[in-house]
Amino acid sequence: MREFPPEKIRNIAVIGSGSTGKTSLCEALLYQAGVVSRQGSISDGNTTSDYDPEEIKRGISLHSTLLPFEWQDHKINLIDTPGYIDFMGETISALQVVDSVIIVVDAVAGYGSTLENLWKLADKHNLPRLLVINKLDKAQADYDKVLDSLRQKFSVEIVPVQIPIGLEANFSGVHDLLQTTAPNSLKDQVDKHKKLLIEGVAEIDDTILTEYLKGLEITQAELSQHLIAAINEDKVFPALCVSAQNNIGIPELLTAIVNWMPPANEKKYLAKDSQNNQVEITASKTDPFTAYVFKTVAEPHLGNLTYIRVYAGTIKPSSPVYNSHKGKEERIGQIISMRGKNRLEIPVLTAGDIAVLPKLKVSSTGDTLCDKNRTITFSQAEYPEPAISFSVKPKSKTDQEKMALGLASFMHDDPTFKLHYNAETHETIISGLGEIHLEIILKKLKERFGVEIEIGDPRIPYKETIKSRAKAQGKYKKQTGGHGQYGDTWIEIEPLPAGQGFQFVNKVVGGAIPKNYIPAVEKGIRETMAKGIVAGYPAVDVKVTLCDGSYHEVDSSDMAFRIAASMGFKKAFSEAHPTLLEPIVEITINVPPEFVGEVTGDLNKRRGRISNIETNKVVAIVPQGELAKYATNLRSFTHGQGSFSTKFSHYEQVPPQTQQKLMEAYSKLKEGGMISHADK
């Protein structure tokens, strides 16, 4: 693609709830611009955006897709984003580098489940936005109803700039409210909606307000001028009408993008220099090179593809750049752009543009690339915490290393995917924004690395402890001829305060047990505590006193005393009123006010204790075991508008019925041979 100056570039993300027609709209824009010869469709699986086999199979977008094209001597870098919350990370990354957004709304379904969160994200970045009401050709489409609901929901100046000509099957075109004349058949509709438009602009523009109150005629040129200013100041949000499928309203939308949306050099961006001082970056071609990495993709046959937005300067192939986050230099090879899966060569990359750098070695999402002589660092995007976790293990033990390497590589590409090993439960845990998110990750693992995975719910890290003192003998004697085994211990145990862990005291006197065997006694007890006694969970907060015992001059050994100590500890533990402790977490839930009551009711069912309630936030203390699949449930009853985060608080004793259930499950595992003799 040819080079464009920043004032001729429009960087725009297409966002909206799932199934509103974002990808179809992007396809219609590409077709209208003449860069595709045939307009693809979701049902046919041939859109430019959704080329991944899994996207085609599911009929939804799983990744953000860069779609550059030219229109009226401008370059438009369109980024199609997923609508489902599982892939919100892709949308957040895109919003980090665009200058405006198109919000797509379904003319039938209206306000979508994730729209409020998306609106807040656009607010956070101060992004001008166009609202595109799509599917006006569908049965039960209602432009006025959807427009009114949006105006009420967001309490901002969402103003119509077009009205549909006909609805449902009769939707045949759009009428521009900025025109001075209207056909008689539309006069009432035009008058009604134009009044909303003028009043919306007048609310934030004194010149228009004065003329409006005086009853003076406001010219098309005046209204357009003040409308554009209000759009770029995020004070007015124009609504347009389209049918992406039938290509109605698409030329008008393209004209609005070019005329109303801000160019790539409109805004100044804040960053930090090498001394951590705040600096302003402007889209100047002659300034030192500065860019932000907003997306990385590991393509099996192409290597790493690094997507960047250039904020200042110019680079050509073979240029060196400095990664200020990693403190390492990279050398640029090719410079390309991607239109879906199609590569487009770029001879030179300048300020304001978005492009792709193949085969970089160290750069990842969130990094800043710059000139080494002017070190600049942009703030990284903030991503939501994972909402769901699974334990994973390879079906073949020989694939353990391949599994770890494969999953780690996905973290490089996806900031919302997390991987860690839980040393307490001895599990590899993967976490993400939803079940579909993790399902896609594991499918990629199988396709790219040949690793098949077994998944399960992560084990809750319960712990075992005691409530009283007890004393028991542990004696191990094995004499069947020849050299035998002999170890004899008397052990007393008592509870310690919470968090004290383990104490071992040796009170053996008179050489009843030789000193060289005492470490073996302690080791046997520690090993037994780690494996658990009554339910298979680690024992904590126990003081153990070795009181007495005996030994055999020939048959005693370290192993014999380890086994004897383990036997005595298990017996004493079982008699000291053992109890289970469960982890308690503090959960903070953010929801629209209308769902607060439902959230608190649901938490009560989960043994939660509410500690704070605000207009749109609930804070509570809840057992971790009660929060399995909570993300899915919260999304269900808040229609995708709820989010939450948790942090560990403390341990508490489990209810008797829960303890009984866990102990019975452990007994069945032992009886079924699922736990080895050595672990019992």
- Domain contains 73: yes
- Domain contains 108: yes
Q: What's the CATH code of the domain at 354?
A: 2.40.30.10
Q: What is the percent of the chain where pLDDT is above 70?
A: 98
CA geometry: angle 416, 417, 423, nearest 5 deg: 130
- Domain contains 503: yes
Q: From 576, 609, 644, give the residue that closes a domain.
A: 576
Question: Is residue 105 within 8 Å of 112, Cβ to Cβ?
Answer: yes
Q: From 536, 558, 576, give the residue that closes a domain.
A: 576
> What three-state secondary structure class fits 2?
coil
Does one domain contain both 23 and 172?
A: yes
The residues that bridge with 545 in the sheet, in sequence order, are 492, 505
Total domains in the fold of the chain: 5
Does one domain contain both 403 and 475?
A: no
Q: Taking all residues of the chain, what is their mean pLDDT, rounded to a whole number? A: 93
pLDDT band, residue 673 (cuts 50/70/90): low
What's the domain range around 448?
Answer: 388-456
- pLDDT tens-digit readout, 388-417: 899 999 999 999 999 999 999 999 899 999
d(CA 359, CA 306): 8
Does one domain contain both 427 and 291?
A: no
Is the pLDDT at 298 greater than 50? The verdict is yes
Question: Is residue 14 within 8 Å of 30, Cβ to Cβ?
Answer: no
- Domain contains 227: no
- pLDDT tens-digit readout, 248-274: 999 999 999 999 999 999 999 999 999
- What integer pLDDT is reported at residue 678 of this predicted model? 42
- The number of angstroms, rounded, from the C-alpha of 668 to the middle of its chain's C-alpha atoms is 38
Does one domain contain both 299 and 283?
A: yes
Question: Is residue 77 within 8 Å of 35, Cβ to Cβ?
Answer: no
Does one domain contain both 22 and 121?
A: yes
Q: What's the CATH code of the domain at 624?
A: 3.30.70.240
pLDDT band, residue 674 (cuts 50/70/90): low
- Domain contains 61: yes
- pLDDT tens-digit readout, 560-573: 999 999 999 999 99
Q: What Å distances lie between residue 452 and 25, 396, 408, 557, CA to CA?
A: 37, 8, 16, 45
CA geometry: angle 646, 650, 655, nearest 5 deg: 100
Does one domain contain both 445 and 474?
A: no
- What integer pLDDT is reported at residue 676 of this predicted model? 47
- What integer pLDDT is reported at residue 111 of this predicted model? 81
Task: Please compute the mean of the pLDDT values over residues 295-301 and round it to a whole number.
Answer: 85
SS3 per-residue string spanning 148-192: HHHHHHHCCEEEECEEEECCHHHCCEEEECCCCCCCHHHHHHHHH
- What integer pLDDT is reported at residue 181 of this predicted model? 78
- What integer pLDDT is reported at residue 607 of this predicted model? 96
Does one domain contain both 129 and 16?
A: yes
- What integer pLDDT is reported at residue 481 of this predicted model? 67
- pLDDT tens-digit readout, 84-101: 989 999 999 999 999 999
Report the range of poorest mean pLDDT among 264-278, 452-466, 636-650: 636-650
Does one domain contain both 290 and 314?
A: yes
Residues 6+ apart with CB under 8 A from 65: 26, 48, 49, 50, 51, 79, 80, 338, 340
pLDDT band, residue 209 (cuts 50/70/90): confident
- What integer pLDDT is reported at residue 679 of this predicted model? 45
The residues that bridge with 330 in the sheet, in sequence order, are 321
Q: Which residue, 196, 194, 263, 181, is CA-closest to 228?
A: 263
| 339's tokens | 């239109």
Q: Which residue, 221, 196, 199, is CA-closest to 209?
A: 199
Does pTM top 0.75 for this prediction? Answer: yes
Q: What Å distances lie between residue 588 and 78, 86, 441, CA to CA?
A: 35, 19, 27
pLDDT band, residue 675 (cuts 50/70/90): low
- What integer pLDDT is reported at residue 637 of this predicted model? 86
Give the single-character DSSP code of 594.
G
Q: From 425, 456, 487, give the residue that closes a domain.
A: 456
Find where tokens 């211990």 sit.
489
Q: Which residue, 384, 433, 432, is CA-closest to 635?
A: 433
- Domain contains 421: yes
Q: What's the CATH code of the domain at 151?
A: 3.40.50.300
| 548's tokens | 């007495």
Does one domain contain both 273 and 256?
A: no
Find where tokens 């919003």 sit.
95
| 166's tokens | 């006909």
- What integer pLDDT is reported at residue 219 of this predicted model? 78
- Domain contains 254: yes
| 358's tokens | 């193949």
Q: What's the CATH code of the domain at 448?
A: 3.30.70.870
- What integer pLDDT is reported at residue 330 of this predicted model? 96
Question: Is residue 294 within 8 Å of 95, Cβ to Cβ?
Answer: no
Is the pLDDT at 358 greater than 80? The verdict is yes
- What integer pLDDT is reported at residue 500 of this predicted model? 93
Kindly report the backbone phi and psi dihedral angles of residue 403, in degrees, each rounded to the nearest multiple of 5, phi listed first.
-60, -45
- State in Å, rounded, how far the first CA of the chain is from the last one: 69
Does one domain contain both 516 and 640?
A: no
- Domain contains 89: yes
Does one domain contain both 394 and 352?
A: no
Is the pLDDT at 337 greater than 90? The verdict is yes
Does one domain contain both 510 and 543?
A: yes
Q: What Å distances lie between residue 362 and 90, 317, 326, CA to CA?
A: 20, 18, 8
- What integer pLDDT is reported at residue 672 of this predicted model? 67
- What integer pLDDT is reported at residue 117 of this predicted model? 87
